Structure 1
Amino acid sequence: MFRKRLIAGLAMLTGLISNAHAALNIVMVENASGVTISYSGSIDLTDANMIGLASFAGNFSGLNPSSASLALTVVTSGTSIDSVAYTITGPASFGSGTNTFQFNQLAVTGTEGFSLAGAAGVFFLAEGYASGSMMTGVTTFMGATFASLGLTPGTYTWLLPSDQINMTIGSVPLPGAALLFAQVFAAGWLVQRRKKRIGAIHHGA
């Protein structure tokens, strides 16, 4: 019975971890330098509703928690970014902070940038982004805190037809927690098996 529960539990956790990897995961943490924002994952654009095109000036990044807005670009100033806008559904805010968007504020290193406008229900990806392609990036608001940026710790999710965007502010992302739980669960199973083997040896004696 315990073994069946283990297999079922691990299957469920595998599914959770797989789903998390399929999404775009954004994590914000406070540290000695300020507030670091990192992101990784991919977006499946199957059945996504494209609503238009937009062009952004290079290195125009920032956030506005009160309207669930976040833009992270990975190109240099003076370079324009042609982007495609897609419809999303989800939270209209992730805090009370106001506009921090400006040119050359953040040094974003990564592969692909994006722009999230949660209150408007729009998500922008660079034109030419291939559905399912990996995106990674990181930047830091130097000297900032969650309080100074008006960020409310928690987990936020925006949905596309075939994928989702997950934002975690100040807590451990799901894959890490799920993996830890799986390890504990497996350790319990091994203890149970060992007890049964010892019992069988004693009975045989």
Structure 2
Amino acid sequence: MLKKFLFAVVSCLALSPAFAALTFTLTETGGNVVVTASGSVNTAALTPMGAGFCGVAGDIVASSAGFCGGAGALVGYMGMTGPTSFGSGGATVGNSTSGDAVGVSGVTGEVFLPGGYLSGSALSGTATFAGATFASLGVTPGTYTWTFGSGAAADSVVVTAGAVVSNVHNVPTLGQWALVLLAGLLGCMSVGALRRRAA
């Protein structure tokens, strides 16, 4: 019985999605606007386009749902559908970036990824716009989502412009993690029970 249970758990973990949406989180903090990128991209349903380069300071163009951050060569991947702006602001050059070169353009339906990017690899980076606010950048707070692909190749890019935040991180509690784990295990057990009935 224990072996069957462990097999069901391992099977469920193996079936977990390998990709997490690429997210750009914009926050007003300490008198600056900071953009943080994290996640990964499943490029299977996207078409690679020409190479480009993101300036060392990054930039943002709210009126065309554009953002670029992280120094280095970029490759555009087309095929996303979603909003064509996240505000009315024109081009604004940032002050500093770090981490992976990543970006998005809602107008062209592109996500920009580092040259040589391996589909599903983790991405992270930041860009800082010193002395800026959402208002000065022309960014309208909200969540903007672009989707692409279907089935196993489905993925998304999300830009979230939130309210002013403190430096406190919202870390899930142990109880929240336990509930997620319990729900996953119960789901796996029900799949196992259905398989036994079908056999």
Instruction: Report the TM-score when normalising by structure 1.
Output: 0.66
Q: Residues 40 and 122 of structure 2 are in contact (CA less than 8 Å); yes or no, is this contact kept in structure 1?
A: yes
Measured in 1, the distance between the counterparts of 2:76 and 2:144 equals 22
Distance 1:160 1:60, change over 3 A: farther
Q: Structure 1, unaligned stretches of length 5 or more? A: 1-17, 76-80, 187-205
Distance 1:82 1:155, change over 3 A: closer
**Once the 2 structures are TM-superposed, how far is the Cα of residue 144 of structure 1 from its aligned partner?**
0.5
Q: Residues 93 and 119 of structure 1 are in contact (CA less than 8 Å); yes or no, is this contact kept in structure 2?
A: yes
**Once the 2 structures are TM-superposed, how far is the Cα of residue 82 of structure 1 from its aligned partner?**
4.8
1:33-182 to structure 2, matched below 5 A, reads 33-50=31-48, 52-56=49-53, 58-59=55-56, 61-75=58-72, 81-101=73-93, 105-110=94-99, 112-161=100-149, 162-170=154-162
Measured in 2, the distance between the counterparts of 1:27 and 1:95 equals 15
Measured in 2, the distance between the counterparts of 1:25 and 1:42 equals 8
**Once the 2 structures are TM-superposed, how far is the Cα of residue 57 of structure 1 from its aligned partner?**
5.8
Greater radius of gyration (CA): 1
Query: Which 4+ stretches in 1 moved above 4 angstroms?
Result: none
Q: Residues 54 and 85 of structure 1 are in contact (CA less than 8 Å); yes or no, is this contact kept in structure 2?
A: no
Q: Residues 64 and 85 of structure 2 are in contact (CA less than 8 Å); yes or no, is this contact kept in structure 1?
A: yes
Measured in 2, the distance between the counterparts of 1:44 and 1:148 equals 33
The one-letter amino acid paired with 1:67 is S
Q: Residues 25 and 166 of structure 1 are in contact (CA less than 8 Å); yes or no, is this contact kept in structure 2?
A: yes
Q: Residues 43 and 132 of structure 1 are in contact (CA less than 8 Å); yes or no, is this contact kept in structure 2?
A: yes
The one-letter amino acid paired with 1:150 is G
Measured in 1, the distance between the counterparts of 2:92 and 2:122 equals 27
Instruction: Report the TM-score when normalising by structure 2.
Output: 0.67
How many residue pairs get matched? 157
Q: Secondary structure at the match of 1:168?
A: strand
**Once the 2 structures are TM-superposed, how far is the Cα of residue 58 of structure 1 from its aligned partner?**
4.4
The one-letter amino acid paired with 1:160 is F
Q: Residues 74 and 112 of structure 2 are in contact (CA less than 8 Å); yes or no, is this contact kept in structure 1?
A: no
Larger strand fraction of residues: 2
